[in-house]
Structure 1
Amino acid sequence: MSLRFLVATVLLAVAPAIGGWWAWKGQGPLRQEATVLVRKGANLNQVADQLERDGVIRSASLFKLWARARKLQLIRGEYTFNPRASLSDVAGKLRRAEIHYTAVSIPEGAHAWSVQKRLKGFVPEEVFWTLWKSPRLAKTAGFEQAESLEGLVAPATYKLHHAMEPEEVMLMLVEAFRDQIRPKLEGGVLPPYETLILASLVEKETKLPEEQPKVAGVYKKRLDIGMRLQCDPTSLYARWLSGDLRFTAPLPGDIRRVHPFNTYTTAGLPPTPIAVPSASALEAAKAPEMGRDLYFVATGRGGHSFAPSLKDHNRNVGTYRKEIARQRRIARG
């Protein structure tokens, strides 16, 4: 046997192996990072064809052969692939279920419109507002009587991916509320849902934990004597529900608007919370600091002045206006 014939024979024997290795480990066709969604119910053939169609892999057929040999179990999710990812890289990422998540934060004080904006990449706007009124989701949160999910969302950072269904995303938020917040509402001076509503008013009035029990005390005392709460943030919430989405300070028209959520024109608590309350606001609403005070107004320096009488309150309002005027003079130079 000549040397030339021997070499040719060896090359013929190893060529398929080399070709197979290169098809498996060699650089793939992807030129830039790509994301592929494996949605609920997607099968192997659909995913393989999608990978080839999106230019992630060269051969859907080869991928299917490997996946069937390995009995690949597809896990629904969002997968991100790097440029030139090999077929081995792509297959390994799917096998290990290396799902790409996006962190979405729902902060304390967020209201419906803020939550919708933060979730817009995962829940279409029209779907969001439909789900926001879902009795089933409200029941899951622990308050089946709630008109909406306002306040029934736990403030947290959620890990989401784009293969999730919109209702699944919303369910995650209300389940977090049910598990983390709902039990903390028991044992207060008001029933649990009213405690949540009061806490949301306190949250929107002041961020200072040391002031929140005092604010809650003023509102609780007003409730006890039948006095209107006159909470500025509720007049803004009524404005937004009326279709005016200007996010500005209350205007005289807002204060005068007759609306179930405007506590200047309607007695008692609003029908639902007006935001996501913080833990400190919840504690304040459960145990308000009850004293003589019936009024409070901003100081203009970050806090509030409290007063037991309208006369004292009007004096505090005058002090606040002088402080704002002083700050404007300084700003003008």
Structure 2
Amino acid sequence: MIFGRKKLQAPASVEETNGATQFRLAPRSPSEAIKPTAAPPPPPRIRRPRGGFFSALSGFLTFLIAVALAAMIGIALFEREVTAPGPLETDKVVVIPRNTGVSEIAQLLRREGVIEQPLLFEAYAMLNRQRGHLKAGEFLFRAGISMDDAIDTLVQGKSILHAVTVPEGLTSEQIVARLKENDVLTGDIAEIPPEGSLLPDTYKFERGMSRQQLVNSMMASQRQTLAQIWQRRSPDLPIKTPQELVILASIVEKETGRADERTRVAGVFINRLMKRMKLQSDPTIVYGLVGGKGTLGRSILKSEIERPTPFNTYVVEGLPPTPIANPGRAALEAVANPSRTKDLYFVADGTGGHAFAETYEEHVRNVTRWRQIERAKSTGDTENDVDRSQPEVRGDASGLQLPATASALSQTNPAAGRNSGRNNTAGRRNVDASEGTNLDPLLNRTYDLNSAKTVPDLKQP
């Protein structure tokens, strides 16, 4: 009896791999034998529960990155706002009072139209404290100035500087009067500085500076300048102290305003001191009469030349007790190093300068020429005035008969407020040619006393 045929199978092969026995069925056919063996399936993944330290760290880092990106975007927008041109259409000066806080400054700049966002200004100023604090003062803000540049202006203190010019030859009282007229300075001056203690110059200062501070600065400049000039003075001068140098320099300053004549005029006075001759300088007479007030307003009378005062160098020998004005650097330098001449006299020559002479005879000829120039301009009654064409003869300490000299026969330069002896129409007294004119140093703030000048003709009504 035949039962169903049993299907034959290929014998199984035995393989041993890594100590483990594996059974493998033999291929059923040659084609099956050349087919690659299928790779075993991957092991199952073991799923761990979410959470833990690494998960928290990952989330925190992600948050930080997002914050950093947002901050970078915010800073970029912030920088663009503070560096963008501002709303100011034209240049403007703004005064920041002292002891003003950042918020008050921001509001002030907003009212003046310099900025539009005061809160942004405050924030940016606080963030830039390392650049310095905002300063008070008077500041110029340019049109379209950015917030960043405005803060930089206030931090660096780029305040506007004002200037006051003090001409050479003014007295201390005249200088104080000029400073009191300046409305940018503040406060009062405690007392009139000693004559000759102020250095004429142009001084710059910020709004709000006190007048006394400026006076102190002028005195310090004079001390420093005098010390330097005294160190390089000529060794054979009859000048023994720096104060004596200032006294003689003040006389030279009042005698001439021409830069090319200062050393020669100084040489005349040095020569006269060496010969023990009286200086006989007209400006010393005027100072003895009016003190620090400045000009006399007319010519010197004969009685005034003979009137004894401590400053009248027609009466006293040598130098007066104090300076008669505040000399400038050039006059100080001229006295410290005068011209080496034998000149003993000088008189106005009609051109704004002087004619110098070594002898009295030559000097008289120069005076005659000067009087001819004066008579050609006008004729007047000089009964009450000194007849300067007939100089009187005097004796000096050496016993020699020497005439009145130097400015006793000269017209002192009126350009720096000096006394002048111009003749006017008949019946009128002489007046100071600079007083009330455009050359008056108290009226004209820009007149340059270092340049050559001529005396203007006075027009009578």
Q: TM-score, normalised by structure 2?
A: 0.51
Matches of 1:254 and 1:57, distance apart in 2: 67
Matched, 1:81 2:141: yes
Q: Tell me: CA distance 1:291–1:74, structure 2 relative to 1, closer, same or farther (3 Å).
A: same
Contact 1:131/1:170 (<8 A) preserved: no
Residues 23/73 of structure 1: CA separation in 2 closer, same or farther (3 Å cut):
closer
Is 1:152 the equivalent of 2:210? no
- Cα distance in 2 for residues equivalent to 1:227 and 1:108: 27
Tell me the amino acid that sits aligned with residue 92 of structure 2. E
Q: Distance in 2 between matches of 1:231 and 1:294?
A: 12
Structure 1 residue aligned with 2:327: 276
**Aligned 1:309-328 pairs, distance under 5 A:** 313-327=363-377
Alignment gaps of 5+ in structure 2? 1-72, 380-456
Asked if structure 2 preserves the Cα contact closer than 8 Å seen for 1:30 and 1:85, the reply is no
- Distance, in Å, in 2 between the alignment partners of 1:79 and 1:254 is 54
SS across alignment from 1:195:
helix
| Cα distance in 1, alignment partners of residues 351 and 153 from structure 2 | 54
Q: Give the partner amino acid of 2:228.
A: P
1:63 is aligned to 2:126: no
Cα deviation for residue 300 of structure 1 reads: 1.5
Q: Does 1:123 align with 2:185?
A: yes
State the Cα distance separating 1:297 from its structure 2 match: 1.5
Taking a change above 3 Å as real, the CA distance of residues 246 and 207 of structure 1, as seen in their structure-2 partners, is: closer
Cα deviation for residue 278 of structure 1 reads: 3.7
**Contact 2:306 / 2:314 at 8 angstroms: preserved in 1?**
yes
Give the superposition deviation at 1:322: 0.4
Deviation of 1:81 (Å): 2.2
Structure that is richer in helix per residue: 1
Q: Partners in 1 of 2:324 and 2:377 — Cα distance?
A: 34
Q: Deviations over 1:37-82 (max 9, x none)?
A: 454x555455445445655445554433221121142345421124
1:98 maps to 2:158? yes
CA distance in 1, matches of 2:78, 2:339: 78
Judge conservation of contact 2:171–2:325 (CA < 8 Å) in 1: yes
RMSD of aligned alpha carbons = 4.3
How far the C-alpha of 1:315 sits from its partner, in A, is 4.2
Contact 1:154 1:180 in 2 (8 A): no
Larger radius of gyration, structure 1 or 2?
Answer: 2
1:318 CA drift (Å): 2.5
Deviates more, 1:114-123 or 1:204-213: 114-123
In the TM superposition, residue 183 of structure 1 has moved relative to its aligned partner by 1.5
Q: Aligned letter for 1:117? A: R
Q: What corresponds to 2:281 in structure 1? A: 231
Specify whether residues 152 and 26 from structure 1 end up closer, same or farther in structure 2 by C-alpha distance, changes over 3 A only: closer
**Partner amino acid for 2:267?**
G
Alpha carbons of structure 1 residues 234 and 151: separation in structure 2 relative to 1, 3 Å: farther
What does 1:182-197 correspond to in 2, within 5 Å? 182-186=227-231, 187-188=233-234, 189=237, 190=239, 191-197=241-247
1:252-267 matched pairs, under 5 angstroms: 252=301, 260-264=310-314, 267=317
Return the alpha-carbon distance in structure 2 between the equivalents of residues 64 and 258 of structure 1. 71
For structure 1, which segment, 95-104 or 52-61, has the greater mean C-alpha deviation from structure 2 after superposition?
52-61
Asked if the contact 1:76–1:163 (Cα under 8 Å) also holds between the matched residues in 2, the reply is: no
Could you tell me whether the CA contact under 8 Å between 2:225 and 2:329 is conserved in 1?
no
Work out the CA distance in 2 between the residues paired with 1:94 and 1:66: 13
Structure 2 counterpart SS, 1:127: coil
Following superposition, the deviation at residue 210 of structure 1 comes to 5.1
**2:134, 2:155 within 8 Å by CA — same for their partners in 1?**
yes
- SS of the counterpart of 2:188? helix
Counterparts of 2:183 and 2:286, CA distance in 1: 26
For 1:91, give the aligned amino acid: I
Residue number in structure 2 paired with 1:142: none
Shift of 1:296: 2.2
CA contact (8 A) 1:78 1:100 kept: yes
**2: distance between equivalents of 1:249 and 1:299?**
20
Q: Secondary structure at the match of 1:78?
A: strand
Cα deviation, residue 323, structure 1: 1.7
**Larger RCO (CA within 8 A; separation ≥ 6):** 1
- The percentage of aligned residue pairs carrying the same residue is 29
Cα distance, 1:198 vs. partner?
1.0
User: Kindly tell me: are residues 23 and 278 of structure 1, through their superposed partners in 2, closer, same or farther at Cα, counting changes over 3 Å?
Assistant: closer
Q: Which residue of 1 aligns with 2:394?
A: none
Quick one: structure 1 residues 48 and 167, their matched pair in 2 at CA, closer, same or farther if it must change by over 3 Å? farther
Contact kept in structure 2, 1:296 and 1:305, CA below 8 Å: yes
Which residue number in structure 1 is paired with residue 250 of structure 2?
200
Q: Does 1:219 align with 2:265?
A: no
Q: Describe the shift of the 1:52–1:301 C-alpha distance in structure 2 as closer, same or farther (beyond 3 A).
A: same
Query: Match of 2:384?
Result: none
Distance 1:204 1:75, change over 3 A: same
Distance in 1 between residues matched to 2:243 and 2:308, nearest whole Å: 23
- AA of the residue aligned to 1:153: L
1:250–1:62 distance in 2 versus 1, CA, 3 Å: farther
Native 8 Å contact 2:226 2:332 kept in 1 = no
Deviates more, 1:195-204 or 1:233-242: 233-242
Aligned-residue offset at 1:231: 1.9
Size of the alignment, in residue pairs? 298
